[in-house]
Amino acid sequence: MELYAGGVAALVQAHANANPDLDPAYFAGAIRASNELKAAATEAVMSRDPAKVDELAAEVHTWVAKFRGKHLDFSSLLADLELLGEATAKLAV
């Protein structure tokens, strides 16, 4: 779970870095949420409660779905979010 959360955060940051022509505000919320996601994943492993991870992952997913400005390929980011969701589902069992 921590690996996928870290991947999400790295990919969001990579998109921000690769698109300096876009206003940083486009990425601010997703960067914040994805960085919090990394910490939440670590906490979830310890507590066995993935609720915060699910909440933050949904926030990043919503940001991807609503992203406007130019076309960006979010396929790797979406794949990591999906794998993260599968990992949280296993943790909750």
Q: Per-residue pLDDT for 5 more than 80? A: yes
Is the pLDDT reported for residue 92 higher than 80?
A: no
pLDDT the model gives residue 69: 77
- Cβ atoms of 86 and 42 within 8 Å: the answer is no
Report pTM. Answer: 0.92
Side-chain-side CA neighbours of 87 within 13 Å: the count stands at 17
Residue % of the chain over a pLDDT of 70: 98
> Averaged over 5-12, what is the pLDDT?
97
Q: For 12-37, how does the pLDDT look when each residue is reduced to its tens digit (9 = 90+)?
A: 999 999 999 999 999 999 999 999 99
